[in-house]
């Protein structure tokens, strides 16, 4: 993997991002950069504000302060659909699919955004790019046999895979994955790790993950949060050795 020069604009940059929930400072002045084509992980104990950080970046919540830039363009406070138009997609910690629709239809709807808007009122077959994309994702995520099953009838592991596939369908440049391996078996977790690794390069990945082994093996860069603040960042090995991280994250041993 050839490194981009340090001066290149980061794919995603967060500066001094903050939000208050009725006096509670859920995220306080968090800043970091996600380098293009790399995997950046956000870790921290429960309640550190990781998912809130994702909600701020993806437009689910408006920040009360700070900046989010995508490829150098300020996108702070944009709605989720406009974030996606800017090339940023996300998955959810709690599986968030169209449970009463078939698996293929979940993917096709997610891929429809690749088509020009007026194709929305043309016959379905005219949205070929979306259909081909949905088909390719079925194959890639091993869901072809389940194409016509309702998303709500999949196993937990399959639903977690579909959750990532749906986020990928719009061909984003930046992908936010919120605990993709949540509740997965050991084997599935390893497979998902391989998958995430294969995504980087084309894609800039920002990952929230509780499996520390996975984080350490996958990440190019790790951001550590505790109580709404960033307490450390750096290469995985450096973060692991950081005493402040050990105190906050691995417990006061």
Partner 1 sequence: MREAVMTAVSLPRSPSRGPLNATHWLALLFLAVALVFAAVAWTTGNGFYLRLATEALIFAGLAMSVDLLLGYTGLLSLGQALYFGLGAYVSALVLRDGAPSFWLATGAALAAGALAGLVGGVIANRVKGVYFALITFGLAQVVAKAVYNTRELGASDGIIGIPQIRVTLGPLALDTADPLSFFLFVLGLTMAVYAGLAYLMDAPFGRTLAAIRANEKRVPFLGFNAWGHKLAVYVLAACVAALSGALYPMLRGFVSPELLFFHTSGNAVVTVIVGGVGTLIGPIAGSVLLTALRSVVGSWTEHHLIVVGVIFMLSVIFLRKGLVGALLPWLERRAAARARHGRRSAP
- Identify each DSSP E strand in the chain by its residue range: 12-21, 24-34, 39-43, 65-70, 73-74, 88-90, 174-178, 204-208, 221-226, 229-234
The reply to whether 81 sits near partner 1 by the rule CB under 8 A is: yes
Length of the chain: 253
The reply to whether 177 sits near partner 1 by the rule CB under 8 A is: no
Q: Which two tokens stand for residue 220?
A: 């190019």
Output the smallest distance, CB 143 to partner 1, in A: 12
The reply to whether 78 sits near partner 1 by the rule CB under 8 A is: no
SS3 letters for 189-208? HHHHHHHHHHHECCEEEEEE
The reply to whether 98 sits near partner 1 by the rule CB under 8 A is: yes
The reply to whether 21 sits near partner 1 by the rule CB under 8 A is: no
Q: Which two tokens stand for residue 81?
A: 């659909």
Output the smallest distance, CB 36 to partner 1, in A: 18
- Choose between 85 and 237: whose C-beta lies nearer to partner 1: 85
Rg (CA), the chain: 18
Interface mask toward partner 1 for 186-225; x: CB under 8 A:
----------------x-----------------------
Q: Give which of 35, 5, 8, 9 is closest to 200, Cα–Cα.
A: 35
**Piece of the chain touching partner 1 by CB under 8 A; list 43-51, 85-93, 212-220, 236-244:** 85-93
Output the smallest distance, CB 95 to partner 1, in A: 10
- State how far Cα 235 lies from the chain centre: 19
Q: Is 140 helix (H, G, I), strand (E, B) or coil?
A: helix
**Which strands make up the sheet holding 65-70, listed edge to edge?**
24-34, 12-21, 65-70, 73-74
- Choose between 172 and 228: whose C-beta lies nearer to partner 1: 172
Query: Which of 15, 67, 119, 229 is close enough to bind partner 1 by CB under 8 A?
Result: 119
Interface mask toward partner 1 for 157-176; x: CB under 8 A:
---------xx-xx------
Interface mask toward partner 1 for 129-148; x: CB under 8 A:
-xxxxxxx--xx------xx
DSSP 146-176: GTTSBGGGS-HHHHHHHHHHHHHTT--SEEE
Size of the site for partner 1 (CB under 8 A): 51
The residue whose two tokens read 């900046």 is 67
Residues within the interface to partner 1 (CB under 8 A): 58-60, 79-81, 84-85, 89-90, 92, 96-102, 104-105, 108-110, 112-113, 115, 119-125, 127-128, 130-136, 139-140, 147-148, 166-167, 169-170, 202
């Amino acid at each position: 993997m050839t490194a981009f020069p340090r001066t290149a604009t980061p794919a995603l940059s967060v500066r001094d991002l903050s939000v208050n929930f009725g006096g509670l400072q859920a995220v306080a002045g968090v800043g970091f950069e996600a380098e293009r084509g790399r995997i950046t992980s956000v870790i921290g104990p429960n309640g550190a504000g990781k998912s809130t950080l994702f909600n701020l970046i993806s437009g689910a919540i408006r920040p009360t302060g700070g900046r989010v830039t995508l490829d150098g363009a300020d996108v702070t406070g944009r709605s989720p659909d406009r974030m996606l138009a800017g090339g940023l997609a996300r998955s959810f910690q709690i599986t968030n699919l169209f449970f009463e629709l078939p698996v293929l239809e979940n993917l096709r709807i997610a891929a429809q955004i690749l088509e020009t808007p007026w194709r929305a009122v043309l016959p379905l077959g005219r949205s070929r790019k979306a259909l081909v994309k949905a088909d390719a994702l079925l194959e890639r995520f091993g869901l072809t046999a389940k194409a016509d099953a309702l998303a709500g009838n999949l196993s937990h592991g399959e639903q977690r895979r579909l959750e990532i596939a749906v986020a990928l369908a719009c061909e984003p440049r930046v992908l936010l994955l919120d605990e993709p391996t949540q509740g997965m078996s050991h084997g599935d977790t390893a497979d998902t790790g391989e998958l995430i690794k294969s995504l980087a390069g084309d894609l800039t990945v920002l990952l929230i993950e509780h499996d520390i082994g996975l984080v350490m093996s996958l990440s190019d860069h790790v951001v550590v949060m505790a109580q709404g603040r960033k307490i450390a960042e750096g290469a995985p090995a450096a973060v692991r050795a950081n005493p402040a991280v050990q105190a906050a994250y691995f417990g006061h041993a």
